């Protein structure tokens, strides 16, 4: 019987180990194992915008932490050089990378309709550069979600204006939203810039009716800057999302960037629940 990588990972997640597999299947898995790094969001650590998130992420065993830029009025909180230095010092002290930043002010100033949104995107680029991270997550949710072709086109046009500065700084602007992979690719194409990519969230996409395995494979590694892993409110592997297949798809496309856990804490314990979810992902990566 010939097993696909997806089927093999599902079996292993269910209790089999790689040592129990036929030699040819072990060789196939070893030829293209998952290579992504596993980080965690500071807001799910309950440490939003706090340098203390770095030490907590380290203690829990993560490879890095995604940090919030913050919501300001006249300026973004993380534009403060002193706060940037605190994060850099914490990263050096803990020997833990800062994975990326989230422009969470876009939950208030929607990029699709608010001119302030464009200003915040522009302001986020030097912040990311100063922190040594490559990705700025741009969220489009709630009232800021993209609903029409006109809204998507507008976002593409706005980002086309900001993208040259991002390219120069070596920063990627990542679209995290509720629309399809193809609609994201359409926005990316409209920007005419390699600095705008998809920030793929398997939980959001599943919730909105998309086949995440097909979308990940269709987008490929070149069009995905980072990934969020979640199946809230469940622990990973206990909800509806086929995470063995997700990990297999990421491995098959050669994804090597950050996969961040944006997971809830079902029991209320951040440390215990994050360790549980991280252990599950690590287990899938080792099959």
Q: Return the CATH number at 168.
A: 3.20.20.150
- Residue 261 within any structural domain of the chain: yes
pLDDT in tens, 41-78: 999 999 999 999 999 999 999 999 999 999 989 999 99
Residue from 220, 199, 128 nearest 167 by CA? 128
pLDDT in tens, 179-238: 999 999 999 999 999 999 999 999 999 999 999 999 999 999 999 999 999 999 999 999
Residue from 6, 2, 3 nearest 244 by CA? 6
Instruction: Give pLDDT, residue 32.
Output: 74
Give the burial class of 142: count Cβ atoms within 10 A of its Cβ; 0-12 exposed, 13-18 middle, 19 or more buried. Answer: exposed
- Residue 109 within any structural domain of the chain: yes
Query: Alpha helices of the chain — where are they, by DSSP H?
Result: 5-13, 23-31, 52-60, 81-94, 115-131, 149-169, 181-191, 202-207, 212-219, 243-252, 270-285
- Domains of the chain: total: 1
The answer to whether the CB of 74 falls within 8 A of the CB of 40 is no
Is it the case that residue 20 has pLDDT exceeding 70?
A: no
Is it the case that residue 143 has pLDDT exceeding 70?
A: yes
- Residue 17 within any structural domain of the chain: no
- Residue 18 within any structural domain of the chain: no
Average pLDDT, the chain: 92
- Residue 230 within any structural domain of the chain: yes
The range of the structural domain enclosing residue 77 comes to: 34-285
- pTM of the complete model: 0.89
């Amino acid at each position: 019987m010939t097993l696909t990588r997806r089927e093999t990972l599902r079996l292993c997640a269910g209790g089999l180990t790689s040592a129990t597999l036929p030699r040819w299947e072990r060789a196939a898995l070893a030829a293209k194992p998952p290579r992504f790094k596993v980080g965690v969001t500071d807001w799910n650590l309950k440490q939003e915008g706090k340098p203390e998130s770095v030490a907590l992420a380290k203690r829990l065993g993560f490879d890095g932490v995604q940090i919030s830029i913050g919501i300001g009025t006249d300026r973004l909180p993380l534009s403060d050089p002193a706060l940037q230095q605190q994060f850099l010092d914490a990263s050096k002290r803990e020997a833990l990378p800062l994975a990326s930043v989230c422009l969470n002010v876009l939950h208030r100033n929607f990029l699709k309709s608010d001119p302030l949104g464009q200003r915040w995107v522009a302001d986020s680029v030097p912040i990311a550069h100063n922190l040594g991270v490559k990705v700025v997550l741009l969220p489009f949710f709630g009232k800021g979600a993209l609903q029409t072709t006109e809204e998507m086109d507008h976002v593409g046009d706005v980002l086309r204006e900001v993208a040259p500065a991002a390219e120069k700084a070596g920063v990627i602007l990542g679209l995290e939203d509720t629309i399809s992979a193809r609609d994201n690719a359409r926005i990316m194409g409209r920007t005419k810039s390699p600095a705008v990519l998809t920030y793929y969230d398997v939980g959001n996409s599943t919730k909105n009716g998309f086949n995440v395995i097909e979308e990940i494979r269709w987008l490929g590694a070149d069009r995905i800057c980072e990934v969020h892993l979640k199946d809230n409110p469940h622990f990973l592997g206990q909800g509806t999302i086929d995470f063995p297949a997700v990990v297999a798809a990421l491995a098959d496309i050669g994804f090597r960037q950050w996969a961040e856990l944006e997971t809830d804490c079902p029991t209320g314990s951040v440390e215990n629940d994050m360790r549980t979810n991280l252990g599950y992902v690590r287990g899938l990566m080792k099959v």
